[in-house]
Amino acid sequence: MAKQYETVIGLEVHVELATKTKIFCSCSTAFGGAPNTHTCPVCTGMPGSLPVLNKQVVEYAMAVGLATNCKIHQYSKFDRKNYFYPDNPQNYQISQLYLPICYEGGVEIDTPAGKKVIGIHEIHMEEDAGKLIHDEWEDCSLVDYNRSGVPLIEIVSEPDMRNADEVIAYLDKLRLIIQYLGASDCKLQEGSMRADVNLSVREVGAEKFGTRTEMKNLNSFKAVARAIEGERARQIELLEEGKQVIQETRRWDDNKEYSYAMRSKEDAQDYRYFPDPDLVPIIISDEWIQAVRDRQPELRTEKLERYKKEFDIPDYDARIITGSKKLADLFEETTAICKKPKKVANWILGETLRLLKEKDMEPEELRFSAENLAKLINLTDAGTINGSVAKEVFEVLFGEDIDPEQYVEEKGLKTVNDEGALRTVIKDVLANNPQSVSDYKGGKAKALGFLVGQTMKAMKGKADPGSVNRILKELLDEA
């Protein structure tokens, strides 16, 4: 019988923090901007410049640490990681090796076998590097230091995961926690959340871990899952062939669904870490920890329970809404205005998600306001517009965040409630469609639908469907 293998996975997750300014200078962290415009002597490594720690970075790192049940090192330090590369203007990265800010934590994930805790070994703070642009045309490389010094935290897990599903569940858990804290937007595609996967395989029942590889360049959850499957298969194949897994760093190419070796342990660099003498130790008082703890917002698990209780929303719906900080915020803000939680939930789960999917957008990209969604809900509820008009208005609202009241007024979309006018139109419809009338009388219920449609068309969609149905039936019975 073939050997059974177990996969052992640990993750190093880099998260770009949502501070307005960089970790060691006051330059903007805003995305984009012409090359080297968000820079100063500090983040371009000019001789004589010195780093000064942005306190907000420490607060965010602590907040993430506390939310992932970590302990806090109340005496923490920055170290220099020395290596030469042009995206790194000082040729050392300021990071934390010896005394990282957070350590020994963990988060709980759901697995088919029940709840499981994934341990967090440490969380440390560090600076991002600049970006190299290779100009093939001019045969030269250029460097943009706008990203240089953008604050990152690296969350290092224990090797506690056993398959891709657990990895995705863990990443999703981290993403939600961090988004809820407001510490980052955690977009894998844009690189504000990056995961490196450390993976090894061993025979089921074996005590020792196998030799691991580190996989880089994973920029979507799907890529993470594919890379794990691919690497597991590659390592098992090696072992089955009686070969050794080599400890190395590999780069995943998601298009080719293949990874290739970047560097092996043998040519791993000696980073010559040592405490950065330009920065003073970070002293964190009990009071500071408590203050950060007190400011922690309601996280996903608590919110989920509250929604079910407070708003009487089904578990499935509440999970989807709280599955994105943006959707949850939209839900709560809209509900606070219109006081109709179920209707708000329906709009979010229905039309909002449909359009997001259609336009291939993330919830974070939603641009319409809670005020306008609430107005739309109120207009529909009051019967001022009918359901199909409401959907049309929502599409416009989704794209341009218009004021629905004004829009409905300007476009003349209000439901016509003039019974006399409606009767006249319906009489015309019946007169023009004798075949359908006789079909209806002959027992074909479908014909009624056709006549409703014709009436709505004649009314340009502005009739109240209830009234149309009632009057149609009434007149058909008379005919």
What residues line the site for another protein (CB under 8 A)?
A: 41, 44-53, 80, 82, 84, 86, 89-92, 143, 270, 272-274, 277-280
Shortest distance (Å) from residue 38 CB to another protein: 15
* Sign of the C-alpha dihedral computed for residues 78, 57, 61 and 90 taken in this order: negative
Rounded Cα–Cα distance for residues 179 and 192 (Å): 11
Q: Answer yes or no: are the C-beta atoms of 219 and 189 closer than 8 Å.
A: yes
Rounded Cα–Cα distance for residues 381 and 378 (Å): 5
Shortest distance (Å) from residue 334 CB to another protein: 43
Q: Give the Cβ contact number of residue 38 at 10 Å.
A: 24
Please, which residues have CB within 8 angstroms of residue 371's CB and are 6 or more apart in sequence? Answer: 337
Write down the residue that tokens 């209830």 correspond to. Answer: 466
Shortest distance (Å) from residue 84 CB to another protein: 6
Rounded Cα–Cα distance for residues 278 and 25 (Å): 13
Rounded Cα–Cα distance for residues 349 and 330 (Å): 12
Q: Radius of gyration over alpha carbons of the chain, in Å? A: 30
Complete DSSP assignment for 383-417: TSS-HHHHHHHHHHHHHH---HHHHHHHHT-PPB-
Write down the residue that tokens 């003349």 correspond to. Answer: 412
Report the residue number, 30 or 52, with the smaller CB distance to another protein: 52
Shortest distance (Å) from residue 236 CB to another protein: 32
Rounded Cα–Cα distance for residues 210 and 200 (Å): 5
Please, which residues have CB within 8 angstroms of residue 267's CB and are 6 or more apart in sequence? Answer: none
- What are the backbone dihedrals phi and psi of residue 95, each rounded to the nearest 5 degrees, phi first? -145, -170
Shortest distance (Å) from residue 87 CB to another protein: 10
Q: Which helix (H) or strand (E) holds 173?
A: helix 164-181
Structure token digits, residue 105: 């934590």
Shortest distance (Å) from residue 101 CB to another protein: 16
Shortest distance (Å) from residue 325 CB to another protein: 34
The separation between CA 70 and the C-alpha centre of its own chain, rounded to angstroms, equals 23
Rounded Cα–Cα distance for residues 237 and 241 (Å): 6
Report the residue number, 132 or 206, with the smaller CB distance to another protein: 132
Q: Answer yes or no: are the C-beta atoms of 462 and 389 closer than 8 Å.
A: yes
The amino acid sitting at 307 is Y
Q: Give the Cβ contact number of residue 310 at 10 Å.
A: 12
- In the 8-state DSSP scheme, what is residue 463? B
Report the residue number, 45 or 465, with the smaller CB distance to another protein: 45
